[in-house]
Amino acid sequence: MERYVRVKKIGEGSFGKALLVKKKADGKQYVIKEIGISKMSPKERQESRREVKVLAQLKHPNIVSYQESFEENGNLYIVMDYCEAGDLYKRINGQRGIQMPEEEVLDYFVQICLGLKHVHDRKILHRDLKSQNIFLTKNGIVKLGDFGIARVLHSTVELARTAIGTPYYLSPEICENRPYNNKSDIWSLGCVLYELLTLKHAFEAGNMKNLVLKIIR
C-alpha cells in the first residue's frame, strides 16, 4: 500500500472496504478493494487469487479495468479504475422521480449489454449485476464493476445476501436454490433496465420471503 495515498473510504460491504486512493507515482486516482482473507481457508484463498487473475484479463471499454492486486497484512488488495461520476444507482436517485430520456436509457443499456457480452463470451458470470455495480465516467461511459468479488467470496455468499440488504435482483433460480448460470445475469440485467425506465425496483417487498414469492411468480 505504500505506493498509494488513501484519500477516503467510499464504500463498505460484506467483502471489506472500498478506498479511493491516489497513486504516488503519477497522482492518478484509483479505487482499491480491501478484502480480508486471513479468515479464509487455504483453498478459498487460492480461489480468490485465481479469480483476480481472471478479472485482470478482462479488457473492454465497458468494464472497470483492474490495474493490479497484492496481498499484505492478511488482506487482498485489488486496484481498479475510478469512475468519477459514481454509480447508476446514484444517477437514478438523482432524477428525483423525473424519468430519464429514452435515448439516455438506451445508451446506458447498450453499453451495459456490451460489457456483459464480453464477460459471458469468456465464460465468466457477473453474479452481482445491480445498479450499484454499474459505474459512470464523467464522459458518460458506462462500466461494469465488482464482479468476481461475489465469486471470490462464494463461501460467504449467504452472509453477503443478508449483509448487502434486500437482494432485489435475484433471479427465480437463485430463489429456488438452483445453480447460477449466465441467464441469471440476464435476469438481473432486465431488473436494471426496469429500474432505469421507472426509477423503481422491478420487485419490492417488505421482507425477504415476500420478495422471493414475487420473483418466483
Helix (DSSP H) and strand (DSSP E) numbers for the chain: 8, 7
Report the distance separating Cα 190 and Cα 187, nearest Å: 5
Among 17, 123, 118, CA closest to 64: 118
Check: CB of residue 167 under 8 Å from CB of residue 160.
no
Which three three-digit cell numbers place residue 20?
479511493
Cα-based torsion angle of the residue sequence 27, 29, 31, 36 in order, rounded to the nearest 10 degrees: 20
Which three three-digit cell numbers place residue 39?
479468515
Residue type, 190: G
Which three three-digit cell numbers place residue 68?
493490479
The catalytic residues are 128
